[in-house]
Amino acid sequence: MSLDNIKLPPLVLQQLFTHSLIDLKNSPEIDSKSEAKAFLTLGNNQKKVLILVETEETLYLPDNQLNFLLGILAACNLTMEDVAILNIKKNPSVNYQLITTELQSEKVFLFGVQPDQIELPVKFPTYQIQNYNNQVYLAAPPLSQFQDNKAEKTKLWICLQQIFNI
């Protein structure tokens, strides 16, 4: 007997194929993930760390800035699984209330984004760690300004060490 000629009893076939291969109900399935995610973000946000950027060039970040950011994340013992990157140019309706409710962010980093752009009622200078609404905010220059500027990198690193207890 070869594998091509196996005959199964009808009872076994019935147990193997309990569901029809064709769904006759034709009801559209709603993906709960797509409804819950009101913003276009990159990353899985497992540690509730949000990185806000502002760029027209790409959906999230240009490659060189993303690579620099990945280096920063690695130094903080974080990966893309832990954070969410949101470009406010591609998500114009973003504000701090939606960030709190939709993304449940605990730490928010504003790279080249001013606090008033997300309707944050608190004004603070760059590199000042700001607590507001049970969240930690840090404003910094755009990622493009860090590439060859050691002084800016040092300022950012000092703040990140305080925030992540490194």
CATH label of the domain that carries residue 77: 3.40.470.10
pLDDT above 60 for 34: no
pLDDT class for 62, splitting at 50, 70, 90? confident
Phi, psi at 119, each rounded to 5°: 60, 30
Q: What is the mean pLDDT of residues 30-49?
A: 70
Residue 27 lies in a domain: no
Residue 11 lies in a domain: no
Residue 76 lies in a domain: yes
Total domains, the chain? 1
Rounded distance, CA 14 to CA 79, Å?
47
pLDDT above 50 for 31: no
Q: Which domain holds residue 53?
A: 33-164
Residue 1 lies in a domain: no
pLDDT tens digits, one per residue of 84-136: 999 998 887 888 888 888 889 999 999 999 999 899 998 999 999 999 988 99
Residue 17 lies in a domain: no
Residue 20 lies in a domain: no
pLDDT class for 76, splitting at 50, 70, 90? very high
Percent of the chain with pLDDT over 70: 81
The answer to whether the CB of 108 falls within 8 A of the CB of 88 is no
